[in-house]
Amino acid sequence: MSRSATVELTWADGDYTFRLGWGELVRLQEACDAGPYFVLGRLQDGTWRMQDISETLRLGLIGGGKAPADATKLVKAWVQDRPPMENLAFAQGVLGAALMGSTDETPGEIGAGNLKDSSSTLSPEAS
């Protein structure tokens, strides 16, 4: 995953690039009749709708460089013709990366996040 919210995944029958940029997020919002963060919440709390999964992956493939017709064929074969739970985690990951970015990069100045300091507000006796 990178700051551009691009995610490389081994999915379906190979390795694919997914990315939900601004335009894809707007289309996801329209397709799912909910804002992207609300869709992510549904994907995470179990109240998802079928199009939350399929449209997240289809639009992610398009944003990642797939032609729309190819993305639609892939989603038909590997999402719509299969149990939805097989693709739920992929949809969560693609949309989460688009909304929150990479968790492996520290924002701000280089070295701004000093992970060596392991101080805590809890005393060892409280644990």
SS3 category, 113: coil
Residue 101: per-residue pLDDT: 82
Residue 87, pLDDT above cutoff 50: yes
Residue 122 lies in a domain: no
Residue 89 lies in a domain: yes
d(CA 37, CA 42): 9
Evaluate the CA torsion angle 102, 37, 53, 55 in order and state its sign: negative
Q: Within 10 A of 58 (CB to CB), how many other CB atoms are there?
A: 26
Residue 110 lies in a domain: no
Where in the sequence is the domain holding 66, given as residue range(s)?
1-12+21-102
Residue 125 pLDDT grade (very low, low, confident, very high; cuts 50, 70, 90): low
Residues present in the chain in total = 127
Domains held by the chain: number? 1
Which pLDDT tens digit goes with each residue over 47-86?
A: 999 999 999 999 999 999 999 999 999 999 999 999 999 9
Residue 104 pLDDT grade (very low, low, confident, very high; cuts 50, 70, 90): low
**pLDDT-above-90 percentage for the chain:** 74
Residue 117 lies in a domain: no
Residue 15: per-residue pLDDT: 97
Residue 54: per-residue pLDDT: 98
Residue 96: per-residue pLDDT: 96
Residue 3 pLDDT grade (very low, low, confident, very high; cuts 50, 70, 90): low
Burial pattern 72-92, b for ≥16 Cβ within 10 A else e, equals bebbeebbeeeeeeebbebbb
Residue 80 lies in a domain: yes
Name the residue among 63, 82, 50 with its Cα closest to residue 16: 63
Residue 6 lies in a domain: yes
Work out the average pLDDT over 103-123.
45
Residue 116 lies in a domain: no
Name the residue among 41, 38, 70, 44 with its Cα closest to residue 57: 70
Residue 108 lies in a domain: no
- Average pLDDT for the chain: 85
Evaluate the CA torsion angle 74, 76, 82, 84 in order and state its sign: positive
Residue 4: per-residue pLDDT: 77
